[in-house]
Amino acid sequence: MYMFLSQNKYNYTQVIVTIIAGYIGALIPNKLSNIPHLLMSVIIGSLVSKVVFGDFDVGYQWTQSDIYYWFITITEALIGGYLAIYVKKLSNK
């Protein structure tokens, strides 16, 4: 597992950006669509992370590191989404 984490030199920055993007994605109002806030946070957080930082491996073939990358990225975006929902509930009290 350390091998995957050491491949990208921007790991801490990538984690923070993905969580922030997931947080912002969950806060976007969606009055005209039926997309849940957590799904929106996963989509926005994952895409921002993929576009800004890229993937762990080089090339266009799917490998085991791609599965690991998407699992971690989706989890980080969900953390941001849950954090946004939690803060929103605290502010409504």
Q: How confident is the model at residue 64 (pLDDT cuts 50, 70, 90)?
A: confident
Residue 67 has pLDDT above 80, yes or no: yes
Flag whether pLDDT at 76 surpasses 90: yes
Contact 45, 92 (CB under 8 A): no
Residue pair 41/80 in contact by the 8 Å Cβ criterion: yes
Residue boundaries of the structural domains of the chain: 10-92
Residues 15-31: pLDDT tens digits? 899 999 999 999 888 78
DSSP secondary structure of the chain: -HHHHHS-TTHHHHHHHHHHHHHHHHHS--SSS---HHHHHHHHHHHHHHHHH--SSSSSS--HHHHHHHHHHHHHHHHHHHHHHHHHHHHH-
Spatial separation of the C-alpha atoms in residues 69 and 53, rounded to whole Å: 11
Q: Tell me the average pLDDT of the chain.
A: 84
- The predicted-structure confidence for 28-47, as pLDDT tens digits, reads as follows 887 888 888 899 999 999 99
